[in-house]
Structure 1
Amino acid sequence: MEPTQPRRPFGRRLSRRSLTMVSLLTVAATALAGCASGKASGDTAKATASTDGSQGTAKSNGKVSIYVIGGKADDPFWSAIKRGGEDAAKLVKAGGGSVTFLGPQNYDNLGPDAAKLTQTALSQNPSAIVVPDWVPDSQDAAIKQAVAKGVKVFIYNSGGVEAADRTGGIKYIGSDDYEAGKAGGVKFAEAGAKNILCVNTVPGAANSEARCKGIADGAKSKGAKSKQLPLPSSNFGNPSAVTQAIKGALLKDSGVDALVTIGVQDADSAASAIDQAKAADKVQLGTFDLSQSQLDRVKDGKQLFAIDQQPYLQGFYAVSMANQYLSYGVLLPQNPILTGPLLVTKDNVDAAIDGTKAGVR
């Protein structure tokens, strides 16, 4: 869901054990949010006391006004993020504030479009802007502009702690895409895959590049290999075009024995391509993110895994933290606030299916 100029979200790679521990700490710390104040930065948990009571109380006309920049309205992944943000927005609205969601028409020019949306939000004199840093070269200037004007910025979904530190953002809330990819690459290799193809429909985007790099490094650590199949970003959301491109790649290279896609729409296309290429008996499938069709295939043994970054939590935590910081000056000490990755396989798919039916996974 993001274009140009690849950049890995994190400079420091966290172990899966560390990811799990930080995620557990995050959940525990949410219940204690009123006990933390100030700003934490860097990729280790740091608690720093606020010495300026006005630091977290920037409001528009005396009321909290939060603008959330996300994906397309018809993108299932972003629907889950928005659902989380809308649930958190209920408390904002109860206090007389507002939460506004903005998104692009398509993903053809996402970096510049996201920068324009940030400037649109800034023109409304918001208290806070919640924004993914998909394409740093296109977006950082607009994010820094907002910070310079006193707007509190929270980076979420893409960019990592590096983006927050670089732009002046307060926190990063989201998954570690590189580690998610690495876990997927290891899983493929452990299942016997030797030649993995990472299908990237938004080549150059920070998230997708980190995911494919993680797949390659994870596979390499277990003696397998992976290469990327970059497709034009205009193909994103075009099932027919993606299916035909993947089918062509499979027919051209009979050695491919595993496919991973950067999103659920592409995974459905990949499943169709595998069937059309008559390769279902030798090509394993995996994807990032969840949908009912992915989980059904995992449950039926037709898909090896789906990697969940728990988008509902990204929206919920980002809006909640912005509101708590603006209203009370309180802030969780952990940075990043990790929502994933979580590998969904046949062993734990039933619980994931329940969450998807509820619209939160």
Structure 2
Amino acid sequence: MERTQTRRPTDRRLSRRGLTALSLLALTATALTGCASGKATGGDTGQATASSGGGTTTAKTGKVSIVVIGGKSDDPFFSTVKRGVEDATKLVKAGGGTVTYLGPANYDNLGPDVAKLTQTAISQNPTAILVPDWVPENQDSAIKQAIAKGITVFIYNSGGIEAANKVGAVKYIGSDDYQAGKAGGVKFAEEGAKNILCVNTVPGAANSEARCKGIKDGATSKGSSSKQLPLPSSNFGNPSAVTQAIKGALLQDSSIDAVVTIGVGDADSAASAIKQANVGSKVKLGTFDLSQSQLDRIKAGTQLFAIDQQPYLQGFYVVSMANQYLSYGVLPPQNPILTGPLLVTKDNVDKAIAGAKAGVR
């Protein structure tokens, strides 16, 4: 997954953030035009149609019907994704279309369960399915089946452009998990961390593995090191189990001076573990994704960073772009459409807190 890069990580993030901001402005303009006119004004783009199967609304109804597959209902990250989905759904409904959200009950059997959800979505005969490609070996067959039936597919949140190209989806919308991890690994090393522990509560999932690999490679590039602590996926969402596992690792290996987790719930557990192990003075904490507790700790100086992939944008972009593409053939040329990574640190935490109060961070 590593790519040749000559610019600094901060330069890359700024350029990609600018790109997605421009896409949003264009998207909003076309959405408002579409709502005002009340009718389609264009057709497919040939390239997108070739890669996505259908690319138009159903011939029977002429209305857009979108199924979004995402995380479980009590996942803090996906509650923000759903906020973006819900806001974009207003545009879909204005044109007479529908959006349905499906998610697994838990993450114990993630790949097969999401593949089943994709089959459920196919049975509803939607015009589009929007799905993360978390576990390709389980999911890709179902995704390709959807495309073969003429259903337009967008990959978002996980998998990257490689996954989207492999299955024949229109675009990838989300963060680059490997580059996000690499930025975190570099940040740790620059702040003096030498031995970083990456806690993975969903081992085998493409995005979590890419995150930990990025952490390791980023740290290594600056002379530090990182190892992974893989935990049973049943521990995801079990704060006590995750806390005890991290605490045990810290007590067993006194050389660990930084801990990074793949999600915000696990970061809260890591903070508890660091406190219980009495190593807060030497062990730095970082996490992927963002929540109020992360912001509070960054503000207080007890957490170094949070790597924000801006989930609200993922939900909003993927639904809005699918709607505009299906309705009017409108499609930004950039692929992937990146929503992150953006490191939230003490230098920009106040702006992030304002976004959290608005419900979009």
TM-score, structure 2 as length reference:
0.91
Identity of aligned residues (%): 74
The residue number in structure 2 matching 1:305 is 305
The residue number in structure 2 matching 1:217 is 217
After superposition, what is the alpha-carbon deviation per residue over 1:292-344, rounded to whole angstroms, capped at 9, x for unaligned? 00010000000000000000000000000000001001100000000000000
Instruction: Tell me the SS of whatever aligns to 1:153.
Output: strand
Cα displacement (A) at 1:30: 3.0
Paired with 1:226 and 1:37, the residues of 2 have a C-alpha distance of 50
The residue number in structure 2 matching 1:92 is 92
The residue number in structure 2 matching 1:57 is 56
The letter of the residue matching 2:139 is: Q
Paired residues of 1:129 and 1:154 also in contact (CA < 8 A): yes
Cα displacement (A) at 1:138: 0.1
After superposition, what is the alpha-carbon deviation per residue over 1:230-281, rounded to whole angstroms, capped at 9, x for unaligned? 0000000000000000000000001100000000000000000000001001
Q: 1:27 aligns with which of 21, 28, 37?
A: 21
Q: How many residues get paired?
A: 344
Instruction: Tell me the SS of whatever aligns to 1:290.
Output: coil
The residue number in structure 1 matching 2:236 is 236
Instruction: Tell me the SS of whatever aligns to 2:260.
Output: strand
Paired with 1:49 and 1:127, the residues of 2 have a C-alpha distance of 14
Cα displacement (A) at 1:11: 5.9
Paired with 1:316 and 1:13, the residues of 2 have a C-alpha distance of 30
The residue number in structure 2 matching 1:148 is 148
Paired residues of 2:132 and 2:156 also in contact (CA < 8 A): yes
Paired residues of 2:44 and 2:328 also in contact (CA < 8 A): no
Q: List structure 1 runs of 4+ shifted beyond 4 angstroms.
A: 33-40, 48-51
Paired with 1:167 and 1:23, the residues of 2 have a C-alpha distance of 26
Paired with 2:71 and 2:264, the residues of 1 have a C-alpha distance of 14
- Unmatched segments (≥5 aa) in structure 1: 1-9, 41-47
Residues 183, 36 of structure 1: CA spacing in aligned structure 2 closer, same or farther, 3 A cutoff? farther
Paired with 1:12 and 1:182, the residues of 2 have a C-alpha distance of 11
The residue number in structure 2 matching 1:179 is 179
Instruction: Tell me the SS of whatever aligns to 1:129.
Output: strand
Of structures 1 and 2, the one with the larger relative CO (CA 8 A, separation 6+) is: 1
Cα displacement (A) at 1:13: 5.6
Paired with 1:217 and 1:75, the residues of 2 have a C-alpha distance of 28
The letter of the residue matching 1:276 is: Q
After superposition, what is the alpha-carbon deviation per residue over 1:94-133, rounded to whole angstroms, capped at 9, x for unaligned? 1111000000000000100000000100000000000000
Instruction: Tell me the SS of whatever aligns to 1:32.
Output: helix
Paired residues of 2:258 and 2:284 also in contact (CA < 8 A): yes
Paired with 1:37 and 1:172, the residues of 2 have a C-alpha distance of 21
The letter of the residue matching 1:57 is: T
Paired residues of 2:240 and 2:269 also in contact (CA < 8 A): yes
TM-score, structure 1 as length reference:
0.91
The residue number in structure 2 matching 1:102 is 102
- Unmatched segments (≥5 aa) in structure 2: 31-40
Paired residues of 2:48 and 2:170 also in contact (CA < 8 A): no
* Higher helix fraction (1 or 2): 2
Paired residues of 2:45 and 2:329 also in contact (CA < 8 A): no
Residues 145, 128 of structure 1: CA spacing in aligned structure 2 closer, same or farther, 3 A cutoff? same
Cα displacement (A) at 1:25: 2.0
Cα displacement (A) at 1:205: 0.7
Instruction: Tell me the SS of whatever aligns to 1:339.
Output: strand
Summarize the alignment of residues 108-127 of structure 1 with structure 2, pairs less than 5 Å apart.
108-127=108-127
Paired with 2:332 and 2:44, the residues of 1 have a C-alpha distance of 8
Paired with 1:194 and 1:270, the residues of 2 have a C-alpha distance of 18
The residue number in structure 1 matching 2:12 is 18
CA RMSD of aligned residues (A): 2.1
Paired residues of 1:56 and 1:328 also in contact (CA < 8 A): no
Paired residues of 1:64 and 1:327 also in contact (CA < 8 A): yes
Residues 92, 174 of structure 1: CA spacing in aligned structure 2 closer, same or farther, 3 A cutoff? same
Paired residues of 2:16 and 2:340 also in contact (CA < 8 A): no
Residues 321, 49 of structure 1: CA spacing in aligned structure 2 closer, same or farther, 3 A cutoff? closer
The residue number in structure 2 matching 1:269 is 269
The residue number in structure 1 matching 2:286 is 286
Cα displacement (A) at 1:161: 0.7
Cα displacement (A) at 1:49: 8.7
The letter of the residue matching 1:327 is: S
Q: Does 1:131 align with 2:131?
A: yes
Cα displacement (A) at 1:357: 1.7
The letter of the residue matching 1:270 is: A
The residue number in structure 2 matching 1:319 is 319
